[in-house]
Amino acid sequence: MNKSLKRLIVLVLYKIDWRKLFFILALVTIVGIVLQISLLPFPLSTWLHSPLVRVSTTRNFTNPLQLSLRHGKNWPLNQLLVPVDHLNSSSGLTKGVHRVEADSSPLKRKRRRRKREDDQLHIAVSPPTPRTPPTPLQRFVWSLSPSEALLYAKKELKNAQPIANDSDLYAPIFKNVSKFKRSYELMELILKVYVYPDGRPPIFHSPHLSGIYASEGWFMKLLEGNRQFVTRDPEKAHLFYLPYSARQLQQALYVQGSHNLAPLSLFLRDYVNSLSAKYPFWNRTHGADHFLVACHDWGPYTLKAHEELVKNTIKAVCNADLSEGIFKAGKDVSLPETTIRRPKKPLRNIGGGMRVSRRPILAFFAGSMHGRVRPLLLKHWRNKDEYMRIYGPLPRSVSRQMSYIQHMKSSKFCICPMGYEVNSPRIVEAIYYECIPVIIADNFTPPFDDVLDWSAFSVTVAEKDIPKLKEILDAIPLRQYLKMLENLKMLQRHFLWNFRPIKYDLFHMILHSIWLSRLNQI
């Protein structure tokens, strides 16, 4: 046995030509691979790259569909998919199996291809998510014309039932929480806004989202992206939005140092005239169901070249000055000035006010000397009292120790005097940083004055009473102050911008006031 094994080993090692044997085996292997590749139903690159397949269901399924593959060639759909069964009532959706033909016979593939080209391809389609069926009230409202729907809402609001408690709303900050809640519900049920597509950026459809005039930009951005309130059918609209930015208008057309607003007002006049010539909607009401949102100080003044724009249109403006004769309380809307420093984080630093025991400052103000009121404020109170921190621009020596925002969070009251115009971003800043705002601006209508009770969370001081400012603030009892502070914290949610609007937030508050203004005109 051992001798036979030794002879076999010698034969294998010394008698066989291994080079020839290896060459023959390699050649046979290569020939086999080539033959297999030639019999594949697709090029090898198709298998290696796993192409994405796009099926278009818009084609006529009685014709052979073509699929576009990543490698650039078109292949009949019948080579890739087997027919998928329809829905089965007993088992739900049957699972469609997507496979590539495995047969290696070209003749069989050809026969099957011809047969499938004569068959209709059935693709199982998932049923759409069922919508919540409309309520009888919704069906009734949807059957009304816009004018009929407004009359219905007006009647419903007049007969609004009083509510004792509401988990969503904090009654002490409202003039009439029952009416606000009912009008808000009617807005959600009925209101449709048509946004004019006319106008080119940057003046139109180009929201400015930072700075002290950001309110107009955020409203534009959120309304144009809204599906609940915006309609593409102007015949169904209750309100029409003029989608321009007063800030962008000023930057585009105002000549620095000219002190001439005529180019801006003439531009808006021509825009409105073009709308009234192109569409019938302006002329039906002479602009009474149209509205604009403008936060720039010059917003009201740029409307003067068009009489109906000033007289009839609903104007949501930050410069809500009753003395100018342009803003009209009850018809127009006072828009809050919100300073947005970082559009990606509009809610940065909000909240976090100190406890009352840790607020050593009675009143705080710092800012530029704009207008008639601020110089008067500094004249009477700068460096006059250690509890009255009244500055011009905040000195660096002071800001190094305590920032502007920290000053507001550490003060009981924040002075909000008018600048060149009546409104001030400090009002909303005081709300954000939980510091009771003290408004000093005669003839100013505060934001959402139609629904909010500003006496519940703020103090209004006449310009003539600036010398008595500390006396007025000291006279407020601690219990009343604590109640005002609690109200202020509950108010915050109504002055917040959210990337996706939330019920009762700033976007909805502005839209509600515009809606309520329209109802008041009926």
Residues of the chain above pLDDT 70, percent: 78
Q: How far is CA 457 from the centre of its chain?
A: 28
* Torsion sign (Cα): 459, 464, 469, 472: negative
**Top-confidence residue, 137 or 61:** 137
Those residues with Cβ within 8 angstroms of residue 124's Cβ, 6 or more apart along the chain or in another chain: 84, 85, 86, 87, 93, 94, 96
SS3 category, 75: strand
pLDDT of residue 71: 38
pLDDT digits (tens, 9 = 90+) for 409-449: 999 999 999 999 999 999 999 999 999 999 999 999 999 99
* Residue 77 scores a pLDDT above 80: no
pLDDT of residue 93: 36
Structure tokens at 227: 């599906």
* Residue 151 scores a pLDDT above 60: yes
In whole angstroms, what is the distance from residue 512 CA to residue 180 CA? 9
| Bond preceding residue 128 cis, omega within 30 of 0 | no
Structure tokens at 293: 């949102």
pLDDT of residue 11: 61
* Residue 88 scores a pLDDT above 70: no
**Strands (E) located in 295-422:** 314-317, 333-334, 361-365, 388-390, 411-417
Those residues with Cβ within 8 angstroms of residue 500's Cβ, 6 or more apart along the chain or in another chain: none
Residue 417: DSSP 8-state:
E
SS3 category, 241: strand
User: At 12, phi and psi to the nearest 5?
Assistant: -65, -40
Those residues with Cβ within 8 angstroms of residue 512's Cβ, 6 or more apart along the chain or in another chain: 180, 183, 184, 187, 451
* Residue 362 scores a pLDDT above 70: yes
Across the chain, mean pLDDT equals 85
Structure tokens at 413: 């009251």
CB burial of residue 287 (10 Å; 0-12, 13-18, 19+): buried
pLDDT digits (tens, 9 = 90+) for 240-269: 999 999 999 999 999 999 999 999 999 999
Lowest mean pLDDT among 37-41, 47-51, 157-161, 313-317: 47-51
pLDDT digits (tens, 9 = 90+) for 380-410: 999 999 999 999 999 999 999 999 999 999 9
User: At 350, phi and psi to the nearest 5?
Assistant: -75, 140
SS3 category, 152: helix
* Residue 333 scores a pLDDT above 90: yes
Q: For residue 456, which of 35, 146, 171 has the smallest C-alpha distance? A: 171
Q: For residue 315, which of 406, 445, 188 has the smallest C-alpha distance? A: 445
Structure tokens at 317: 């403006």
The structure tokens 């954000």 sit at 432
Lowest mean pLDDT among 22-31, 97-106, 214-223, 427-436: 97-106
How many other β-carbons are positioned within 10 Å of the β-carbon of residue 215?
Answer: 31
Structure tokens at 498: 């959210």
pLDDT digits (tens, 9 = 90+) for 113-149: 555 544 443 434 445 556 788 889 989 998 999 999 9
Integer distance in angstroms from the first to the last C-alpha of the chain? 118
Average pLDDT over residues 92-108: 44
373: alpha, beta or left? (left if phi > 0; alpha if psi -120 to 50) = alpha
Q: Which amino acid is at 253?
A: L
Residues for the chain: how many in total?
Answer: 522
* Residue 62 scores a pLDDT above 70: no
pLDDT of residue 87: 35
Residue-range domain boundaries for the chain: 2-38, 44-88+97-117, 190-341+506-521, 356-495
Those residues with Cβ within 8 angstroms of residue 373's Cβ, 6 or more apart along the chain or in another chain: 417, 418, 419, 440, 441, 463, 466
In contact, 407 and 430? CB cutoff 8 Å? no
- The set of long-range contacts for 210-213, using a CB threshold of 8 Å and a minimum separation of 24, is 210/340, 210/341, 210/342, 210/343, 211/247, 211/339, 211/340, 212/295, 212/337, 212/338, 212/339, 212/425, 213/246, 213/247, 213/295, 213/296, 213/318, 213/337
Lowest mean pLDDT among 72-81, 139-148, 284-293: 72-81
Q: Is the CATH code 3.90.550.10 the one for domain 356-495? A: no
pLDDT of residue 13: 60
Average pLDDT over residues 291-308: 97
pLDDT of residue 40: 54
Q: For residue 337, which of 240, 267, 439, 230 has the smallest C-alpha distance? A: 439
Structure tokens at 31: 């020939």
In contact, 216 and 246? CB cutoff 8 Å? yes
In whole angstroms, what is the distance from residue 108 CA to residue 125 CA? 30
* Residue 54 scores a pLDDT above 50: no
pLDDT of residue 1: 54
How many other β-carbons are positioned within 10 Å of the β-carbon of residue 496?
Answer: 20
